[in-house]
Each structure stands twice: as C-alpha cells, then as structure tokens.
Amino acid sequence: MFILYFQREWSVTLCINKESIKMGKLTGKTALITGALQGIGEGIARTFARHGANLILLDISPEIEKLADELCGRGHRCTAVVADVRDPASVAAAIKRAKEKEGRIDILVNNAGVCRLGSFLDMSDDDRDFHIDINIKGVWNVTKAVLPEMIARKDGRIVMMSSVTGDMVADPGETAYALTKAAIVGLTKSLAVEYAQSGIRVNAICPGYVRTPMAESIARQSNPEDPESVLTEMAKAIPMRRLADPLEVGELAAFLASDESSYLTGTQNVIDGGSTLPETVSVGI
C-alpha cells in the first residue's frame, strides 16, 4: 500500500472561492493538512472546508491536486502541494510555495501516517524505519517548518493524529505502528507545555478503527482471501458495532482547531466507538 513513492519536490494547485461559503467555526483560518488525499486526511479536509477553512492539502501523491480541484469546484479556497514529509527540504519548499499563495498557516493537522503488519522478530529494519521516518520524523519535520511563524504571531493550533494503538491498547503485528503512535502522544504533550505561553495549542486525536484505505489494507494483509470479514469482525468488537467514518474524525479535528476548544492543550481525544472500554474477559450480563 505504501511502497510506491514519487520523487518530486513540490507542485501547487490554487483555486479561489467561486461561490459564497457560509460562516463556520474555521472561517478565515488557513489549515495545512498532511496525508490529505484519502482516509482520515480526506475526511478532515472535507470537514474543514465545510466549516469555512482555507486549505493547504499536502500529500506525497500528485493525485492530491484532483481533490483540491474538486473542493475548489465546490467553492472552497484550496491549495494542493506535493511533498515527502520524510524530507525536510521537500517539506520546506512545499510550505514556502503554499504560503506565497495563502499568506499564513493558522492550523496544522499532522495526519500523514502508515501501518504495515509484521511480528517484532520478523519485521525488517527497513520496515521499522519506514514507520519511524513517516509517523515520527515526518510529523517533526512539518511541525518544525510551520511552528516558528505561529510563535511569531502568538497564535496557532496543531492537531496530531495518534491512535488508541500504542498508548492505550496493543495488537499483535503492530509493534512498529504502536511505537510511533505512542511517541506522538509524548510529542503532543511536550509541545503543548513548551509553547503554551506563545499562544500555541497542541492536541492529539486517538482514533480506533476507521473505515479507510489503511484499514482496508491491514484487512488484506491479515486475510487476503476475505478482507471484508476482517472489517466485519473489527466492527463486532466495538460497542457501537461499526467503524468510524473519516468525517466523524474530521469533526473532532475541527473542534480542536477552532476557538471552541480554546482552553484545551496537551490532550488525548479518543474517538473509537467505545472499543477501548470493555474488559478483555467479561463477567457482566
């Protein structure tokens, strides 16, 4: 799912509002969303657009320009940039170009991430580093590129995409993924403390199972002959008996990026349909 990468410094697509957008909780704010092409990132992009945000959509795939064009066609202001979050120079060039169009970045959503299944002893160093380079270093690189301007303005909101996996629960075969997502919780809290007096709020989202291309890829790795059965079993283990929709995660991200959460920083916000609530062995009714 994540093996193919495009080597390209940056590319930009810019569109301006073609129709009036209703005032929303993010109106007048510009949000940079990484890993925005599909899954949770796409859900966040669509939700932020509905709440009035101007968007900078960053992804490693040039296909991100199609999503930007679609949102532009619906009347939203949207810039697409192609960059590899593992490469600080690629990130810096893409953000510089986007800021030339949009002027500033008020909100950063660090969403880009990967997951490959593999037992601890069988996982290669390359696969381990693949997780670390994208899920940790990628977040570090983008945040470091965006944060100085936020500090200078004494205003900024950063939303980190962590997971219930790693800091709260664990699954066999996801050691590298769990390692990196737990690290994001630590980074969230550290940045929140370090930059609170600079007007920066940093909060993490910890999703459970979400119906995304990543979840579908994990299901195919788990059971190539019947991946849908894996997703069905996932849903059965959740008290709400379904996987989340990416748009639902988008609404939580919009709340954390808005003034509605003005006194929240350094928090972990679980959105999992109750999947982390039950005991492993139940003696209840």
Q: What is the spatial distance between Cα 271 and Cα 8, in angstroms, rounded to a whole number?
A: 34
Active site residue 209: no
Exactly one of 177, 195, 209, 263 is catalytic; which is it?
Answer: 177
Which residues are identified as catalytic?
177
